[in-house]
Amino acid sequence: MNPLKIRVRQLIQEAVDARAEAMKLHMALQVMKEEREKKKVIKADKSTMTEVIETTPDVPTPRPPPPEPPPSTVMSASFPLSPKAEKTLQQPCVAIPQEFLLQLQVIG
């Protein structure tokens, strides 16, 4: 093959690659613009709402401190715990991550 044809093919390939890269960047820009518009709508909605129903995933929700346990009651052998109360005391408290709760809201 002559060197001129090789160079023409190289230039064509570079042009095709450049176009593919430009399309990829254009799509990424469109996604960013759509996300920005969604955030603007959410901010506008939050300013007019009277109560917060949903939070955005990128903004962490402040968690209230855990409730204080009730004052310990006097326990004696004359007043044993019920089996249900004993079972409750044996089970550890499990915290559910906020992201998991948001996923459940989206699914449900």
Cα 76 from Cα 39, distance rounded (Å): 58
For the segment 9-36, the average pLDDT, to the nearest whole number, is 94
Inside any domain, residue 10: yes
Between 90 and 76, name the one with better pLDDT.
Answer: 90
Are 61 and 55 within 8 A, CB to CB? yes
Q: Answer whether residue 73 is part of any domain.
A: no
Domain that holds residue 91: 3-54+84-107
Query: How many structural domains comprise the chain?
Result: 1
Does 59 fall in a domain? no
- Residue 29's pLDDT band, with cuts at 50, 70 and 90, is very high
Provide the mean pLDDT of the chain. Answer: 75
- Is 72 inside any structural domain? no
Report the pLDDT averaged over residues 29-52: 77
pLDDT recorded at residue 99: 74
The reply to whether 60 falls in a domain is no
Query: Per the domain annotation, does 89 fall within a domain?
Result: yes
Q: Is residue 17 domain-resident?
A: yes
Has residue 12 been placed in a domain? yes
In the chain, the percentage of residues whose pLDDT exceeds 70 is 51
Which pTM value belongs to this model?
0.36
